[in-house]
Amino acid sequence: MSLHARKIRLIMNLRRAGITSTEVLSAIEKVPRELFLPASFHDQAYEDQALPIGQGQTISQPQIVALMTEALKIEKNQKVLEIGTGSGYQTAVLAHLSRRVYSIERFRSLSQSAEARLQELRLHNVTLRVGDGHKGWPEQAPFDRIIVTAAAKEIPESLVNQLAPDGIMVIPVGEDANEQILVKVVKSEGGISCSHLADVRFVPLVKGTLPDQEDRELPQGLEQA
């Protein structure tokens, strides 16, 4: 089956799984997921699964990307903050739906590969930064929407502070890889309200920045799983 046919099958499966937003489905359709994966995984690009992207990290499962993106209810004029650029796949989906995406990644090597892919796709409304996402991006705050794609021990207060009034944040929370929940946080004048979207499994949101020797570019095909 061609990659195109597999992509159509994936979109139909997402629809069947309850993703109803045509904007979200069409953004997912526009992004070639294979471009965000090592060559050895291209044939699996449209399977509904998480896959390795190097540095021990993973590209999220399409159904989770769709669920999180839909929960954000992004409007075209909005400014979005993403924590955990990873491959840049979720970033690309967000870029199709919003005015501008700011995305922070801990690994310089992953951020650089993501930047090259986003350039190749001519998605120019994206700004990437290397650093610890726990701190958010104070110079660009407030954000209408915030998405965190690694599991936090608790909801970081600095991110809540950088959320605009009526802002929405989606974040996986949990100490244990087997007990994480995806939380939707809505900010209003009275404070924040949280709701539970799904049980999930993400790599951890790690505190602090990395020494350079742990963050070198890995040759294609030799990525750590």
Catalytic residues: 60
Total residues in contact with ligand SAH, by rule CB under 6 A: 24
Pick the piece of the chain touching ligand SAH (CB under 6 A) from 21-29, 73-81, 117-125, 198-206: 198-206
Assess 105 for contact with ligand SAH (CB under 6 A): yes
Applying CB under 6 A, which of residues 32, 38, 62, 133 lies at the interface with ligand SAH? 133
Q: Does 173 bind ligand SAH (CB under 6 A)?
A: no
Q: Binding to ligand SAH by residue 98, rule CB under 6 A?
A: no
Report d(CA 164, CA 120) in Å as an integer.
31
Q: Is 104 in the site for ligand SAH (CB under 6 A)?
A: yes
Shortest Cβ distance from residue 27 to ligand SAH (Å)?
13
Based on the shown chain and the rule CB under 6 A, indicate whether residue 62 belongs to the binding site for ligand SAH.
Answer: no
Q: Which helix (H) or strand (E) holds 11?
A: helix 3-16
Q: Does 159 bind ligand SAH (CB under 6 A)?
A: no
* By the rule CB under 6 A, 183 interacts with ligand SAH: no
- The strand ranges marked E within the chain are 51-54, 57-59, 79-83, 100-105, 126-130, 143-148, 163-173, 180-188, 191-200
Q: Residue with structure tokens 């993403």?
A: 82
Answer yes or no whether residue 96 interacts with ligand SAH by CB under 6 A: no
Angle, CA of 36, 42 and 44, to the nearest 5°: 105
111 CB burial (10 A radius; 0-12, 13-18, 19+): buried
Cis peptide before 142 (omega within 30 of 0): yes
* The one-letter amino acid at 53: I
Considering only 89, 102, 137, 143, the residue that binds ligand SAH (CB under 6 A) is: 89
What residue ranges bind ligand SAH (CB under 6 A)? 53, 57-60, 83-84, 86-87, 89-90, 104-107, 110, 132-134, 149-150, 203, 205-206
